[in-house]
Structure 1
Amino acid sequence: MGSVGGRTLNTAAALFLALALDAMFGEPKWLWNRIPHPAVLMGRLIGWADRRFNQGARRKAKGVLVMTALVIGAAALGIVLRHIPLVEIVLGAILLAQRSLVDHVKAVARGLETSLAAGRHAVSMIVGRDTSEMDTPAVARGAIESAAENFSDGVIAPAFWFLLFGLPGILVYKITNTADSMIGYRTEKYRDFGWAAARLDDLLNLIPARLTALLLFPWRNMRGSHAAKLSLWQEFYTDARRHRSPNAGWPEAALSRKLGVALSGPRAYHGELRDYPWVNRYGREATVGDIDAACVQLWRAWSIVLFCLAFLSFA
């Protein structure tokens, strides 16, 4: 593939095209109704490993070995497939999720415009919390939080690892992120076995989450006095750090301030109310219009990434 610099440029061009393809076509149902999506195949593999190895003694060690095997396998597969013409671009587009993310978030807004019940149903497709008792602001918050977190996990993070390492990088990230979503829980069943998946996912999202925050941050609000700038930055930093997730708080804290709304806060899981702290607690309640505004911000941030890739590829 040439020199390191040349490889970086080639990868940037491939990522540029992959992002563009994803934006144009998203997740075509006609295709994935006929063949399994790569993420589905990853999920099946992780589910098999869960059933096979998450039992008996030394579950943490077993989980570490499973994640090691998954990472090595994903990297090896990427090294092989990257030499097939166009596969790197097409598979990269499949593993990015900008278009599908925006479509799912917009569906919540369209649902709320129909009825609260329709909004609750739409948001239940993208969040894990209980939705049956949500009011309109809670539904809107859920959609916006999902937009922020999944823009990081589904777009910026896979793009970041693709840019650094090509197809092997994005495959390693996606298998890790999928494993974390399936077994990376602090429950009795997964506390040990899913430990490696959760910690590796935290590590791989460390830089991308903060890059996402930079893309979504309200930089225009930094034009005031030095004291006002410092206050905004300190509040943002505090909210990002106090979030229950070491990474999700960064894009949420940025987007909440970009829109001027409060996010996070108390919510219920499996009938149990959890008193999570607010993000941007002085912000107003979220509305249907804020969901659409969040989608606009996702496309603006996406456009910045595309512009940067174009510069790297063709300058």
Structure 2
Amino acid sequence: MSTALLLVCAMCLDAALGEPDWLWSRVRHPAVVIGNAIGWLDKRLNTGSQRRLKGVFTVTLLVLAAFAAGKLLSLLGPIIEIAVCAILLAQKSLVTHVRDVGETLRQSLPAGRTMVARIVSRDTTEMTEAQVARSAIESAAENLSDGVIAPAFWFLIAGLPGLLIYKAVNTADSMIGYRNEKYLEFGWASARLDDLLNLIPARLTCVMIIALSGQWSRWAEMVVDARRHISPNAGWPEAAMARALGIALAGPRSYDGQIRDLAWVNGDARREIGAYEVFRACTMLWKVWGLALGVLSVWVVVNFFF
């Protein structure tokens, strides 16, 4: 089976099953295993001097281990490849988590705050309805890129080794890639490598959202917003999603009790939003997934016949 066909099957399996509780309540999710390994390395190496060098060693070790694991798993046949790929894609779980924010926000603001706290790291206790909705939509846009399109992209490029390397690096970035005193040096390598691995997928996600929403005439605006975003990659899908929905995203928010005056994305658009816009974002998530699946399916058919 071609890698593209394996990916089509994996995307459909993920969309159908997501992350079933009956399975992950009995065995550890691969992402948990990766996270435990990173936590172990962090505890033992992120001390003393030469932390940047130790961080480079950590990422190198993770990449080599992920490559070896991917090679071994790929030898077990296409069924295992499809299953592992489906497990490491996050389309259905992403839509479920974001939709849950919309559903609870529609019920009450406190319920919406509680639910959005599960998917974002910013302070949520004082959020307004619009801030809850923006947080959910920003998470949807960013995770569409690094939880769906990027894993699919690297699987297509390099099979299971590529996918597992991406997930290892992305998980490391989410755990140790912070610009604070503890991780500025130790997490430097993981953050930079994650930026590199997401460079193409983030822009590809942006292009797909633009194609589906017909916002090509606003490309120059999106580039400006994306480049002044705090993240070198997350700003691209966020800028596209903001214009697809006709709303403003990002802006000031609180982390650990400190307000950070971040730039707005599509700042001239409507800022007072709620559950309805969250649901529209979920619809866009499925549209992008459908576009990706359609392109891959055409690729499979063309290669089969020609």
Q: Same fold (TM over 0.5)?
A: yes
Q: TM-score, normalised by structure 1?
A: 0.93
Question: Per-residue displacement from partner, 1:64-91 (whole Å, max 9, x unpaired)?
Answer: 0111011011011101110112111000
Match among 3, 13, 30 for residue 22 of structure 2? 30
- Relative to structure 1, the CA distance from residue 221 to residue 76 in structure 2 (aligned partners, 3 Å threshold; closer, same or farther) is closer
- The residue aligned with 1:281 is 267
SS in structure 2 opposite 1:245? coil
Match among 180, 184, 197 for residue 204 of structure 1? 197
- The residue aligned with 2:224 is 238
Gaps of 5+ in 2: none
1:158 aligns with 2:151: yes
- The residue aligned with 1:220 is 214
Kept after mapping to 1: 8 A contact 2:10/2:83: yes
1:138 aligns with 2:131: yes
- Relative to structure 1, the CA distance from residue 221 to residue 173 in structure 2 (aligned partners, 3 Å threshold; closer, same or farther) is closer
1:312 aligns with 2:299: yes
- Equivalent residues in 2 for 1:264-279 (5 A)? 264-279=250-265
Match among 80, 99, 112 for residue 87 of structure 1? 80
Counterpart CA distance in 1 for 2:168 and 2:199 is 16
AA partner of residue 145 (structure 1): E
SS in structure 1 opposite 2:214? helix
Give the superposition deviation at 1:233: 2.1
Question: Per-residue displacement from partner, 1:81-134 (whole Å, max 9, x unpaired)?
Answer: 101121110000000000000000000000111110100011001101000000
SS in structure 1 opposite 2:227? helix
Match among 298, 302, 313 for residue 285 of structure 2? 298
**In angstroms, what is the RMSD of aligned CA positions?**
0.9
Question: Per-residue displacement from partner, 1:175-215 (whole Å, max 9, x unpaired)?
Answer: 00000000000111100100000000000000000000001
Give the superposition deviation at 1:24: 0.1
SS in structure 2 opposite 1:217? helix
Counterpart CA distance in 1 for 2:274 and 2:127 is 13
Segments of 4+ moved more than 2 angstroms? 218-222
- Equivalent residues in 2 for 1:12-27 (5 A)? 12-27=4-19
Kept after mapping to 1: 8 A contact 2:215/2:243: no
Identity across the alignment (%): 56
Counterpart CA distance in 1 for 2:195 and 2:48 is 26
1:67 aligns with 2:59: yes
Counterpart CA distance in 1 for 2:149 and 2:170 is 13
SS in structure 2 opposite 1:131? coil
Give the aligned length. Answer: 299
SS in structure 1 opposite 2:60? helix
Counterpart CA distance in 2 for 1:187 and 1:221 is 37
Give the superposition deviation at 1:221: 4.0
Deviates more, 1:79-88 or 1:250-259: 79-88
Counterpart CA distance in 2 for 1:118 and 1:107 is 10
Give the superposition deviation at 1:234: 1.9
SS in structure 1 opposite 2:2? helix
Deviates more, 1:212-221 or 1:269-278: 212-221
Give the superposition deviation at 1:235: 1.3
SS in structure 2 opposite 1:189? coil
Counterpart CA distance in 2 for 1:287 and 1:122 is 14
1:10 aligns with 2:10: no
Counterpart CA distance in 1 for 2:269 and 2:295 is 32
SS in structure 1 opposite 2:296? helix
1:105 aligns with 2:91: no
Match among 114, 117, 130 for residue 121 of structure 1? 114
Gaps of 5+ in 1: 1-8, 223-228
- The residue aligned with 2:237 is 251
AA partner of residue 14 (structure 1): L
Counterpart CA distance in 2 for 1:14 and 1:120 is 39
SS in structure 2 opposite 1:182? helix
- The residue aligned with 2:41 is 49
